[in-house]
Amino acid sequence: MDGMTHSAEEQALVKAAHRVLPAGHFGNFASDLIIREGRGGRVWDVSGNEYVDYLLGSGPMFVGHAHPEVTEAVLAQVPRGTTFFANNEHGIRLAEEIVAALPCAEQVRFVSSGTEADMYALRVARAFRGRDRILKFEGGYHGMSDWGLMSLSPRRLANFPTAVPDSAGIPKSAREEVLVAPFNDLDAARALIEAHHDELGGVILEPFQRLIPPAPGFLRGIREITAQYGIPLIFDEVVTGFRFAYGGAQSYYGVTPDLCTLGKIIGGGFPLAAIAGRADIMAHFDRGIVGDDGFLMQVGTLSGNPVASVAGLATLAVLKRPGTYEQVFATGRALMQGIEAMLKRAGLPAQVVGEPPLFDVVFTAEEVRNYRDVLRADPALQKHFNTRLRAAGILKGESKYYISLAHTAEDIEQTLQAFAGAIAALPGKAG
């Protein structure tokens, strides 16, 4: 079934990876794929196999791999120095651009990963509010911290608001600091916030949770109840920032949080992330304003790195051009509609869930509004399609198609042909 060739070099590298890396990989993607090169909307592995790339490095390569303007900016900076542990002009300019773009952003603090951004956003919310507990939504991903890894993908479902750790090594005490609500259930979330408002340091959510769009009125309702009690609302926009609109999901959905976290796109393929938000909350990063007791220490060797900053600035310059988002949405919509039509003709219990820049097929006929709805999907069908697509030269994550500015009509046509082949390979569908 696998139409790809596998060279001796690739096989040797896979063996080496299993010898020196736990599970044979970096903790991200399967160990049997080793990428050598990416250009535009495609990548090549070390055996020379070519793929239409909907993985996009898990989302950062929104303008495509090796975009010439991003590459030029990086190559111009590298001979001038790659890191300084001090302010540099490019990081300052990038912060200015973020403040100008995002409705919630008055100030920015840079870090190197989305995990750090989410962790510090929770910490600064607690510092501002003077409370310890956090409310999050089941199925929401907020990085790898102890608090972020609560009820992300629990195998054992608990009654709300009980938090379930998703990893070994998390202290039991961390469970008591996190309350969990169902996504897209405004009544349940409102009741929890009202019952615990004196304990909450913040509420964090992905405005677009993994693949699931917010129900009408959900984000606005959460904004209203948190504002009523003065609880900082954090939008995790590590994925959605600059992807759905230049002003992020907060602009796209028309709801402004108090803080947001950013990553992926703003680094242009380099390690860079950020916390952005209201100046009075961000003031806790400034000892001169809040004093010793209110000060939140944050130090990062590579925070605001100049190479990442110039890559981010070049990426954002591309995205600001007229027609950019219209093109991405048109590309994504064409693929979504083509897949939906094939699923309907085949009579499969499945639906396309998401927005044109980021979506996937969920193999269930039931409405998908939250994490527990996704759990009802058919994992065997999901695996069948992902395996068949990979063999046909289509690279995607287990549960996402990331669309880029670089994807072409040819890429979409190849993907739809591969999807049709996956349907034909199902028992009873041949011919």
pLDDT digits 0-9 by tens, 304-348: 999 999 999 999 999 999 999 999 999 999 999 999 999 999 999
Task: Give the pair of three-digit tokens for residue 359.
Answer: 């979506």
Query: What integer pLDDT is reported at residue 2 of this predicted model?
Result: 61
pLDDT at residue 431 tops 70: no
Active site residue 141: yes
Q: Convert the pLDDT of each residue in 64-108 to its tens digit.
A: 999 999 999 999 999 999 999 999 999 999 999 999 999 999 999
Classify the phi-psi angles of 23: left when phi > 0, otherwise alpha if psi is within -120 to 50, otherwise beta. Answer: left
Location of structure tokens 């890396």: 21
Active site residue 264: yes
Q: Convert the pLDDT of each residue in 211-264 to its tens digit.
A: 999 999 999 999 999 999 999 999 999 999 999 999 999 999 999 999 999 999
Residue of 141, 246, 252, 371 marked active site: 141
Task: Give the pair of three-digit tokens for residue 49.
Answer: 């196999």
Instruction: Note every long-range contact of 19-22, with CB atoms under 8 Å and residues 24 or more positions apart, other chains counting.
Output: none
Active site residue 236: yes
Task: Give the pair of three-digit tokens for residue 129.
Answer: 């509010």
Q: Which helix (H) or strand (E) holds 120?
A: helix 114-129
pLDDT at residue 1 tops 90: no
Residue of 45, 118, 185, 236 marked active site: 236
Q: 61 pLDDT band (50/70/90 cuts)? A: very high
Q: Kindly provide the residue ranges of all beta strands, DSSP E only, lying in 3-104, ordered along the sequence.
A: 35-39, 42-45, 50-53
% pLDDT > 90, the chain:
90
Q: Convert the pLDDT of each residue in 178-221 to its tens digit.
A: 999 999 999 999 999 999 999 999 999 999 999 999 999 999 99
412/317 Cα distance (integer angstroms):
26
340/353 Cα distance (integer angstroms):
10
Q: 430 pLDDT band (50/70/90 cuts)? A: low
Residue of 136, 264, 396, 400 marked active site: 264
Average pLDDT of the residues in 19-46: 91
Closest Cα partner for 64 from 327, 418, 388?
327
90/81 Cα distance (integer angstroms):
12
Query: What integer pLDDT is reported at residue 30 of this predicted model?
Result: 81
Q: Which domains does the chain have, with CATH numbers?
A: 69-319 (3.40.640.10)
**3-class SS of residue 421:** helix
Q: Are 38 and 395 in contact (CB under 8 A)?
A: no
Q: What is the DSSP letter of 338?
A: H
Average pLDDT of the residues in 132-137: 98
Judging by DSSP bridges, how do beta strands 178-181 and 42-45 pair with one another? unpaired
Location of structure tokens 């590309």: 331
List, in order, residues 6 or more apart from 142 with CB less than 8 Å away.
Answer: 118, 122, 136, 148, 152, 204, 206, 236
Mean pLDDT of the chain: 95
Query: What integer pLDDT is reported at residue 24 of this predicted model?
Result: 83
